[in-house]
Amino acid sequence: MTTRTIQGQKNLQKINQASKDGIGGSPLRPDGTLKVKGEFAYSSDLWHEDMLWGTALRSPHPRANILSVDVSEALAVPGVYAVLTHEDVPGEKYYGLEIADQPALAIDKVRYHGEAIALVAADHPETARRAVKKIKVEYEVLTPITTEEQCLDPETHGYVHEPHEYRSHAYGNVCHEQRLVSGLGVTDEVRALADVVVSGEYEVGMQDQAFLGPESGLAVPAEDGGVDLYVATQWLHVDRQQMAPVLDLPLEKVRLTLAGVGGAFGGREDLSMQIHACLLALRTGKPVKIVYARDESFFGHVHRHPARMRYEHGATRDGKLVFADCRIVLDGGAYASASPAVVGNAASLGHGPYVIPNVRMHAIALYSNNPSCGAMRGFGAVQAAFGYESQMDRLAEALGMDPVELRQLNAVTQGDRMPTGQEIDAPAPVAELLQRVKDMPLPPPLDLEHLDVRTLPGALSNTSHGEGIVRGVGYSVGIKNVGFSEGFDDYSTARVRLEVIGGEPVAMVHTAMAEVGQGGVTVHAQIARTELGVEQVTIHPANTEVGSAGSTSASRQTYMTGGAVKLAAEAVRHELLERGRHRYGWTQDDLALVGGKVVSASAGVLIPIVDLLGEDAVEQTREHHHRPTVPFDKETGQGFGHVQYTFCANRAVVDVDVELGLVKVVELTAVQDVGKALNPLSVVGQIQGGCTQALGLAVMEEIVVEDGKVRNASFTDYLIPTILDTPPIPVQILELPDPHAPYGLRGVGEAPTVSATPSIVAAIRQATGKALNRIPVRPEHLTDTL
Amino acid sequence: MRVTFSANGKPVEADDVWEGESLLYVLRERVGLPGSKNACEQGECGSCTVYLDGVPVCSCLVAAGQVQGREVRTVEGLAGEDGELGLVQQAFVDAGAVQCGFCTPGLLVQTDALLAADPQPSDTDIREALSGNLCRCTGYEKIMDAVRLASARTCARGAEK
């Protein structure tokens, strides 16, 4: 509204300019200066007088009974203040995001490699580490349950959780499942309608979020018997909800404040050190800091579910899809974490952004003695996209069609129904995204005459001077939901206050939103500027003194908490203008706050905001709820389950050294519809970052697990893309507004992580002719050395 | 043991240092300079990069005792005396190269060293020079933009002189 032009009121034009730092602009991050000066306080930077260091003893076995734990030697180490086991947990012994199946400290058995058994607090981190080694645990080591076949045969191989333990409607070692049938389903009669049928089995390895800031925080015991925790998390309120019962404290005595967060990507949705630090602080009466080392970080958070998928697609001779059938098996590991939601996404989005008349789907998550898996950027949709997009390429080849044209021919658009029966009631420009990405200029061809070997596969290792290098190009598109689904009311709260400070109107925005790097704090200030016509905005530290902001995940924060800031700011504006109407008798219905003034399109400037405010602050708090959704029917998968859909299309260009099996991604192009780019600089940054994590999954990243044991818990052995591995990432954004969303915006962060991986694999297939049914693609997959 | 060295031009003294402590630990926990970051503590991520006698090193791989009597310059020492951002710092803010920011201190020191050695690096030179600094948020594109911007500003400043 602040951008409306005022006809015939030239004197107003200057003040009618919306702030360039409002929505649609790209103001600089409010925390940017602190971050480049090294002064931004991350959770691992915190310090307190008399502070102790906490650390955990973790299981070396993926499955074992604990026969005894002897902490006496550890307690005797000078400098050690406390050693705790599950017997010291005062309240509920179990917690969990969706199912409370995880013990705060292991009780009588361990279910995965790295499970926490005991805690130590000491005056130096090394003292704590040495004391941990003196805790004596007697194990009865059991054969871990690690494969799909073992999990599905509990009579032979056993249960990860015994049948009476913490399993809702699950059976055997199945944690959660979702079936879906639409149209006629997939039967022999339906299959007979297709001229061409392709099928494939696909596998996705276990990816890690690999955020750089390790899990960490500082717990400070309070005089009221409660505890204050300063922590890096994605959702303060859900942390507290899980912590308080375990600590046997009422919610209000567990106060959380967000410390600086060094990335998250889903890996901070579950608790890590929160309960442990608070237990130690409450026991010792001293502040306790816990900072994970990188190896502990790999054990201390959940990962992306590895998946095994079987797809079958049938189409007519001219390329129209007739049916699609899929079974997705996700390894959830020892504890449920977000597995039910991951299954829901895999089932409902697992056939991609395509119109398919007849569909069948079965998605399940298993309990196993592998590391727990849960949320990671794009969960459920990422795994499936590798399957259905591989199938699209396979189908195009079988039909002799161009793979982009095949996708466009079957692409969903607004008004179509997903296999869940949910109508897509907002723009869904899938075919256009594909066309645009195809029309983007290609990078120059490989020039053997003038090449810099550093740009080749193998790069600085000087492995080729151009010989054996083959170029490939691949395309893909993906779909992701935004916000929590299946009936979950993940509302957000915002408090906005407007007052005069130093002669200027200043807005203060207070939410519990976890700023994890995404730039939500920048966007909140932009929204306040646009809605209140002020320049100065203060972002209050995020804490539990204000209502929940929901999780910084599911691409939801700008939509949900941004939406709450908008509602609260609108309420402040309304109250302020009502005050003016009451006081000055304004009768105009075209009042707005622009450039620090109350203006009327018809009457011009009425009053500066500072004069209308005077000494009084105006403050409003609002909750923002998205439109309601419903759970998917357990058997048919039908239901209005998702809040919003988001789409991204990619093109990958790769050079492959076909002799050595080395891959260099030369360029990774992305075109995404974002509805409305509230901050274009941040939006592009999100898309480029999301594409790079997809690149990692395509060709580099996997937690290697052998018989339940993690073999590469370090950045030496778990490789994430460096700047040399990452190509230029040209991005084009579309802005087709979603009528249901604040400002028409669409969640941004996850769609590129869903869609980009298959384009890279497609490009490698084109270069090598290999089938490549597993990611990450490794050199041995390309050179027949397996 | 006691370790004395110079940090950002000022003498510092750390007491009761255990022999196994790294320079990174001493900076972060003993002398109040937590700007250098602890992402991997095994020399893979570059987030702890500092200058040691003018040479960029991973401070997590330097034993505290090794810095006795030497000069350390950290991210906290890149800004001017008046607190004004250094040229590389400002370029990172302006280009949108900072998201979570955990990799930023190390990248700033490494970029500072790169531009000191070569004010006009090619894109491939930049990628080679920064290949020891992991970033998980940005996809590196805005970091490339920031280094190019810092390079252009460095050259413009040189031309003014």
Is A94 among the domain residues? yes
pLDDT at A154 over 50: yes
For residue B82, being part of any structural domain is answered with no
- Residue B28 has a pLDDT of 98
Q: Does residue A220 share a domain with residue A196?
A: no
pLDDT at A295 over 70: yes
pLDDT over 50 (residue A123): yes
Residue A404 lies in a domain: no
pLDDT at A167 over 60: no
Which runs of consecutive H residues, i.e. helices, occur in B16-140? 23-25, 87-95, 104-117, 123-129
pLDDT at A56 over 90: yes
A705 shares a domain with A770: yes
Residue A14, pLDDT > 80, answer: no
Q: Which pLDDT belongs to residue A705?
A: 98
Chain A residues close to B96, C-beta within 8 Å: 26, 28-29, 681-682, 684-685
Residue A691 backbone dihedrals phi, psi, to 5 degrees: -65, -35
pLDDT in tens, A457-468: 998 888 999 999
* A675 and A607 within one domain: no
Q: Verify that A451 and A555 share a domain, yes or no.
A: no
Please name the residue of chain A whose CA is at the shortest distance from the CA of residue B36.
A38
pLDDT band of B60, cuts 50, 70, 90? very high
pLDDT score recorded for residue A13: 40
pLDDT at residue number A760: 98
Query: Which of A44, A693, A729 is facing B38, going by the closest CB pair?
Result: A44
Residue after which a domain boundary falls, among A300, A320, A355: A300
Residues of A in contact with B63 (CB under 8 A): none
Q: Nearest by CB to A714, which of B42, B142, B144?
A: B42
pLDDT in tens, A410-432: 999 999 999 999 999 999 999 99
CA angle A700, A352, A184 (to 5 degrees): 140
Parallel/antiparallel/unpaired status of strands A307-315 and A597-600: unpaired
Average model confidence (pLDDT) for chain A?
Answer: 95
Domain co-membership, B71 together with B107: no
Which whole number is the average pLDDT over A665-682?
Answer: 98
Residue B152 has pLDDT above 60, yes or no: yes
Residue B155 is assigned to a structural domain of this protein: yes
Q: How far apart are CA B158 and CA B161, in angstroms?
A: 5
Has residue A607 got a pLDDT over 90?
yes
Residue where the block lists tokens 């007519």: A316
Number of independent structural domains in chain B: 2
pLDDT at A20 over 90: no
- pLDDT for A169: 54
Q: pLDDT tens digit string along A543-569?
A: 999 999 999 999 999 999 999 999 999
In a domain, A56, yes or no: yes
In contact, A383 and A346? CB cutoff 8 Å: yes
Instruction: Give the CATH number of the domain where residue B19 resides.
Output: 3.10.20.30
**Per-residue confidence (pLDDT) for residue A6, from 0 to 100:** 32
Q: Do B20 and A126 touch (CB under 8 A)?
A: yes
pLDDT at B67 over 60: yes
Examine residue A630 and state whether it is found in any structural domain, yes or no.
Answer: no
Cβ distance A777 to A695 under 8 Å? no
In chain B, which residues have their Cβ closer than 8 Å to the Cβ of A714?
Answer: 40, 42, 44
For residues A195 and A692, the answer to whether their CB atoms sit within 8 Å is no
Cα separation, A371 vs A156, whole angstroms: 21
E strand or H helix at A150, and its extent? Answer: helix A148-151
Could you tell me if residue A485 is inside a domain?
no
pLDDT at res. A517: 98
Give the range of the structural domain holding residue B54, as residue numbers without chain letter: 3-77
Taking one residue from A and the other from B, the number of pairs with CB-CB distance under 8 angstroms is: 182
Average pLDDT of span A712-730: 98
Secondary structure in 3-state letters for A67-88 = EEEECHHHHCCCCEEEEECHHH
pLDDT of residue A427: 98
**Is A294's CB within 8 Å of B98's CB?**
no
* Chain A residue nearest residue B91, CA to CA: A36
- Is A401 part of any domain? no
Nearest to A28 among B93, B132, B143 (CB): B93
- Residue A468 near residue A660, CB atoms below 8 Å: yes
Q: Once rounded to an integer, what is the mean pLDDT over residues A382-405?
A: 98
Interface test with B, best of A723, A725, A753 (most B CBs within 10 A): A723
Q: Do A715 and B40 touch (CB under 8 A)?
A: yes
Percentage of the residues of chain A whose pLDDT score is greater than 70:
97
Rounded (10°) angle between helices A751-768 and A680-699 = 40
Determine the average pLDDT of the residues in A523-530: 98
Read out DSSP for A448-484? STT--GGGSTTGGG---SSTTEEEEEEEEEEEEEES-
Look up the domain containing A101 and give its range. 43-142+216-261+268-300
CATH number of the domain within which A357 lies: 3.30.365.10
Q: Which of B46, B77, B108 is the last residue of a domain?
A: B77
Same domain, B26 and B54: yes
Q: A349 pLDDT exceeds 80? A: yes
Query: Over 70: is that where the pLDDT of A170 sits?
Result: no
Question: Considering only CB atoms, which chain A residues are within 8 Å of B140?
Answer: 688, 692, 723, 726
Domain co-membership, A96 together with A35: no
B67 and B43 within one domain = yes
Residue A12 pLDDT: 40
Residues in chain B within 8 Å Cβ distance of A293: 41
User: Does residue B69 share a domain with residue B24?
Assistant: yes
- B94 and B48 fall within a common domain: no
Q: Tell me the nearest-neighbour CA distance from A689 into chain B, angstroms.
A: 4
Q: Are residues A618 and A532 in the same domain?
A: yes
Chain A partners within 8 Å of B78 (Cβ): 36-37
CB contact under 8 A, A715 and B42: yes
Domain count, chain A: 4
